[in-house]
Amino acid sequence: ELVLKVRIQNPNLRENDFIEIELDRQELTYKELLRVSCRELGVSPEHIQKIRKLPNTMLRKDKDVARLQDFQELELVLTVSDKNLLFRVPTLSEQSGYNKKASELTY
């Protein structure tokens, strides 16, 4: 097995810890890396824009994945619209207990 450290790229989070994933060395493909990473992080593969090997290298193909070594750090970069869906703070009107009519009262 190849052990990699993976997280979702999000500079807005104070704590953005890595998780460790294992890949079978017989199946070191980009598709398998994407599948396992998304499953472990609870993200749909359609929401991934790219996979980055830290600090600054984009993984693009199976040969890139085959060169990875144990405990290398990877980030899943989400599409812009999906970042907002996954990590957005609810607006005031979406928070429980918010009363729209009360907010419109004028004195």
CA distances from 95 to 39, 89, 91 (A): 29, 10, 7
For the chain, give the mean pLDDT.
Answer: 81
How many other CB atoms are there within 10 angstroms of residue 83's CB atom? 17
In one-letter notation, the amino acid at residue 25 is R
Give the residue with greater pLDDT, 73 vs 91: 73
pTM score, whole prediction: 0.71
Query: What's 2-78's CATH class?
Result: alpha beta
In one-letter notation, the amino acid at residue 8 is I
**pLDDT tens-digit map of 52-86:** 999 999 999 999 999 999 999 999 999 865 444 45
Q: Do 3 and 20 meet the contact criterion of CB atoms below 8 Å apart?
A: yes
In this predicted structure, what is the pLDDT of residue 79?
86
In this predicted structure, what is the pLDDT of residue 64?
95
Q: How far apart are CA 73 and CA 3, in angstroms?
A: 10
Domain ranges for the chain: 2-78
Residue 92 has pLDDT above 60, yes or no: no
